[in-house]
Amino acid sequence: MSMLRGLIVLALAWVGMQPAFAVTPREEIATKAAPAPDYALPANWAAGPGAPSPGPVDVFYVHPTTFRSDKGEWNQTPGDPAADKWTDESVIVRQGGAFAGCCRVWAPRYRAASFNALQSEAHRDEAFAFAYADVERAFDWFLANVSKGRPFIVAGHSQGGKHISDLLEKRIDGTALQQRMVAAYIIGINLAQGEFGPRRFKSVPVCAKPAQTGCAVQWNAIMAGSDLEPTLAAYKRYYAARFGTEDGWEPVCVNPVTFDLERPASISAQALGAAPGAPGLGPMKPLRAGAVAVKCDRGLAVVYPAPGLDLAPLPGGSMHFHDIGLFFADVRANAALRAKAWVAAHRRK
């Protein structure tokens, strides 16, 4: 008996000396994450259920990062009161609302990568992948239960724009769904010119004209007078690391007032309406027309806001928080124009 007892002690001591198995970021994220949203439940949509449809086109919109992860979470918890309130009252109103003039907007609540994940190189990509899986499931539900063969717009900003770009690449480009896609508004991330072609989007082109359909729109706003070099250098490094070449790294910029590649600059008088004030809770202030000049310069949308708009830039002059708000009425009008053009073209067919 004493020998058995000794063997047990030795065995336990040996186990205690072994290093614990390392938990990968993917495993850690999956372990900590909230349950997957059931998109048959209206509560798992920030917009869509119960809203009237103003036309024959629907919008699938994905919101940007709205979860601050005060407790170190890697992904957003759908149903978190603070995150949902910010998503609904600020982001959906000031971004998704730009598409509501032509279409019913459907915006899923999803386990978005958190601010905490964005700051962790080890967890960032895995948190994005985890979030994208929710977006794709929400899109499948949207197709089966909302769209049902109708034309649609896909749109997103920042993290939401990344997920929409992945959705465009993996689920829409080159498929039958592309024929139903009015346009993809992929805003506030870096899409390079070289991604349109053999490297990524093989069938979907950049929108060259304001009424063109089946194409993609992209811009990143930066304050006039800012040094463009740091942003452009970062874009070039990311593109080269991903594709193994610098060929085609230049950012895509579609002027969000003219929506015409042959008209890369516009004056304030042409702008239909910007949303004043910093993004926040509560009703959006009345739009202000004729308040923003913009020109595409080396792939960035350089903006000249009028005094009194009260739109503060981020460090380096980035107007990331205002990518859509600066051009709210312009986006609204353009989405309606493209929707009308799609319907007219297919009615003729």
What digits encode the pLDDT tens for the residues 40-99?
999 999 999 988 888 899 999 999 999 988 788 899 999 999 999 999 999 999 999 999
Q: CA–CA distance from 153 to each of 51, 181, 185, 214 (Å)? A: 17, 6, 8, 9
Is position 126 within any domain?
yes
Tokens of 294: 């913009």
Whether residue 156 has pLDDT greater than 60: yes
The pLDDT, as a whole number, for residue 255 is 98
Q: Does this model's pTM top 0.85?
A: yes
DSSP state of 320: G
Contact of 191 with 219, CB cutoff 8 Å:
no
Residue where the block lists tokens 């010119």: 193
Is position 250 within any domain?
yes
- From 53-57, 145-149, 338-342, the region with the lowest mean pLDDT: 53-57
The pLDDT, as a whole number, for residue 300 is 98
Compute the average pLDDT of residues 233-251.
Answer: 97
Is residue 72 classed exposed, middle or buried when 0-12, 13-18 and 19+ CB atoms within 10 A define those classes? exposed
Is position 280 within any domain?
no
Strands (E), the chain: 45-47, 58-62, 104-108, 152-157, 181-187, 215-217, 221-223, 265-266, 292-297, 300-305
Whether residue 9 has pLDDT greater than 80: no
Longest dimension (CA), the chain: 94
- From 9-23, 260-274, 321-335, the region with the lowest mean pLDDT: 9-23
Q: CA–CA distance from 215 to each of 46, 124, 126, 297, 338 (Å)? A: 26, 29, 28, 21, 10
Contact of 110 with 9, CB cutoff 8 Å:
no
Whether residue 24 has pLDDT greater than 70: yes
Compute the average pLDDT of residues 106-123.
Answer: 93
DSSP β-ladder status, 215-217 and 181-187? parallel
The pLDDT, as a whole number, for residue 3 is 36
Instruction: Give 192-204 as a 3 state SS string.
Output: EHHHECCCCECCC
In the structure, what pLDDT confidence band is assigned to residue 22 with cuts at 50, 70 and 90? low
The pLDDT, as a whole number, for residue 11 is 35
- What is the CATH classification number for the domain harbouring 111? 3.40.50
Compute the average pLDDT of residues 168-187.
Answer: 98
Domain that holds residue 238: 23-221+228-254+320-348
Is position 47 within any domain?
yes
The pLDDT, as a whole number, for residue 282 is 86
Count of domains observed in the chain? 1
User: How many residues make up the chain in this entry?
Assistant: 349
In the structure, what pLDDT confidence band is assigned to residue 280 with cuts at 50, 70 and 90? confident
The pLDDT, as a whole number, for residue 247 is 97
SS3 215: strand
* Most confident of the following: 17-26, 63-72, 75-84, 150-159: 150-159
Compute the average pLDDT of residues 219-242.
Answer: 97
Whether residue 10 has pLDDT greater than 50: no
| Helix axes 25-32 and 124-142, enclosed angle (nearest 10) | 50
Q: How far apart are CA 138 and CA 145, in angstroms?
A: 10
Averaged pLDDT of the chain:
92
The pLDDT, as a whole number, for residue 13 is 35
The pLDDT, as a whole number, for residue 19 is 43
Contact of 55 with 103, CB cutoff 8 Å:
yes
The pLDDT, as a whole number, for residue 349 is 61
Compute the average pLDDT of residues 204-211.
Answer: 98
Contact of 274 with 325, CB cutoff 8 Å:
yes
Is residue 348 classed exposed, middle or buried when 0-12, 13-18 and 19+ CB atoms within 10 A define those classes? exposed
Is position 131 within any domain?
yes
Whether residue 12 has pLDDT greater than 50: no
Is residue 110 classed exposed, middle or buried when 0-12, 13-18 and 19+ CB atoms within 10 A define those classes? buried
